[in-house]
Amino acid sequence: MGLDLGLERAGIEVVLACEYDKFCRGTIQANRPNLPLLGDIWQYSTSEIRQAAGLTPRDEIDLVIGGPPCQAFSTAGGRKGFKDERGNVLLKFIEVILELRPHYAVIENVRGLLSAALSHRPHSERGGDNPSLLAEELPGGALLHVLKCLRGNGYGVSFNLYNAANFGSPQVRERVVLICDRGGNKAPYLTPTHSADGSFGLPPWRSFREATQGLESIEHHYVRFPEERLRFYRMLGPGQNWRNLPKHLHHEALGNAYFAGGGKTGFMRRIAWDKPTPTLVTHPAMPATDLAHPEEDRPLSIEEYKRIQEFPEDWVVVGSLVEQYRQIGNAVPVSLGMAIGRELFANLRERKKPSMEFAGFPYSRYKGTDDVSWERFVRGTLKAKAAEQLGLEFR
């Protein structure tokens, strides 16, 4: 309920929630026992959704917001796109939006949505003697399909890849956020409250030290590193990782992963005190995605996870330690939810124009992820591929 808590802090009343996972449902019910809660979204008609929310068929809905399961689009997953059952939950969510016709709809998802194909071809079937990729197999096709559905039903859509650290979260976590306006207007991008270096007249990003202040004397609950990994951690200081070990220990510390590609920055990783944390993962003691305390020889605790994701101190998380990590790690930072709520409120009161104050602001670590730049590039790529397949010269 990171999104929900952020919306509430912005002044938006949440009247209905929908969650399939039994542990997440338990957490919602423990903290919001009076909030109506639906289960599997596939099991409800829009009239039943209205009824559960206490709305009549004529009541206007201000906002429908959610983050449909995103594993199908994750760069770490199978990238099956819309052929994956979980990918189709996104289409079901859009179907619900178009039937309920809220003033605004917000869709949150992982960065992988920007590059997901409408139809994914396994990498083992690419290149060499395999046929060239079809237009529907090119990156970006899935999101183009989503935009076509929404725009074809009168919604104006703006989106960007947003780093939660730019909105006050003590965490570098990037998520795609689509804001859909039933009036056909394109909403401005979210208004940042922080910047990496204090530029744009904003305070600098919040740090792990700032976020966890006051937790020094409480009891922490956490999973444990195996002893063979702790041996290496005892050689590392705040903000360091395996690369800071003596070179003759690199292979021993990483094992076979030493020969893998990429930067491997998630191995043997201690959090820095004076920077935001990396993206919280669903288990902080997995070898490739370690999230260790800056100085103590342990992973980040549940209490530190809650602070970083900005949940209240008394927020109850149901389930085992592993289940608690998974739920908190999968959540949307509360600050990002609040930034979305503030932008929607501003648009509901008075039609906002894009602010020149933040022109050129780096919303994420990547370039070309705003809707204008992204769509120009993707459509150009698809047009070139279509021309190539038709044997035409593309200009």
Instruction: Among 330, 351, 369, give the residue marking a domain's end.
Output: 330
Rounded-to-integer distance, Cα 269 and Cα 299, Å: 10
Does 70 fall in a domain? yes
Does 45 fall in a domain? yes
Determine the pLDDT at residue 387.
Answer: 60
Same domain, 363 and 385: yes
Same domain, 145 and 291: no
Sorted by sequence, the CB contacts under 8 Å of residue 344 that are 6+ apart come out as 10, 12, 62, 63, 104, 106, 179
Does 298 fall in a domain? yes
Q: 3-state DSSP call for residue 365?
A: coil
Query: Are 116 and 143 a contacting pair, CB within 8 Å?
Result: yes
Say which amino acid occupies 378.
Answer: V
Structurally, the chain folds into a number of domains equal to: 2
Same domain, 240 and 255: yes
Same domain, 97 and 72: yes
Determine the pLDDT at residue 136.
Answer: 73
In 3D space, the residue among 306, 238, 237 whose CA is nearest the CA of residue 273 turns out to be: 238
Determine the pLDDT at residue 77.
Answer: 47
Query: C-alpha 85: how far from its chain's center?
Result: 19
Same domain, 144 and 35: yes
Instruction: Among 314, 330, 346, give the residue marking a domain's end.
Output: 330
Determine the pLDDT at residue 391.
Answer: 55
Query: Are 62 and 348 a contacting pair, CB within 8 Å?
Result: yes
Same domain, 43 and 190: yes
Same domain, 198 and 222: no
Instruction: Among 312, 330, 348, give the residue marking a domain's end.
Output: 330
Same domain, 276 and 379: no
Rounded-to-integer distance, Cα 381 and Cα 368, Å: 14
In 3D space, the residue among 348, 14, 46, 338 whose CA is nearest the CA of residue 181 turns out to be: 348
What is the domain-level CATH number for residue 174?
3.40.50.150
Diameter of the chain measured on Cα atoms: 71
Same domain, 289 and 158: no
Same domain, 323 and 351: no
What is the domain-level CATH number for residue 304?
3.90.120
- Angstrom CA distances, 98 to 151, 154, 182, 258, 383, stand at 10, 9, 9, 49, 28
Rounded-to-integer distance, Cα 123 and Cα 127, Å: 8
| Apex 114 CA angle, 113 and 120, nearest 5 | 65
In 3D space, the residue among 223, 224, 241 whose CA is nearest the CA of residue 232 turns out to be: 241
Query: Are 179 and 158 a contacting pair, CB within 8 Å?
Result: yes
Same domain, 101 and 191: yes
Rounded-to-integer distance, Cα 377 and Cα 371, Å: 10
Does 126 fall in a domain? yes
Same domain, 22 and 155: yes
pLDDT in tens, the chain (395 residues): 999 999 999 999 999 999 999 999 999 999 999 999 999 999 999 999 999 999 999 999 999 999 987 555 554 445 555 665 555 888 899 999 999 999 999 999 999 999 988 777 777 777 777 787 776 778 888 899 899 999 999 999 999 999 999 999 999 999 999 999 999 999 999 999 999 999 999 999 999 999 999 999 999 999 999 999 999 999 999 999 999 999 999 999 999 999 988 888 889 999 999 999 999 999 999 989 999 999 999 999 999 999 999 999 999 999 999 999 999 999 999 999 999 999 998 887 776 666 678 989 999 999 999 999 999 999 888 777 766 665 554 33
Range of the domain at 283: 208-330
Q: Which residues are catalytic?
A: 70
Query: b/e map of 290-300 (b: 16 or more CB within 10 Å)?
Result: bbbbbeeebbb
Q: 3-state DSSP call for residue 157?
A: strand
Query: Are 23 and 85 a contacting pair, CB within 8 Å?
Result: no
Query: Are 381 and 216 a contacting pair, CB within 8 Å?
Result: no
In 3D space, the residue among 65, 157, 164 whose CA is nearest the CA of residue 106 turns out to be: 65
Does 394 fall in a domain? no
Does 375 fall in a domain? yes
Q: 3-state DSSP call for residue 24?
A: helix
Query: b/e map of 187-215 (b: 16 or more CB within 10 Å)?
Result: bbbbbbbbbbeeeeebeebbbbeebbeee
Determine the pLDDT at residue 393.
Answer: 46
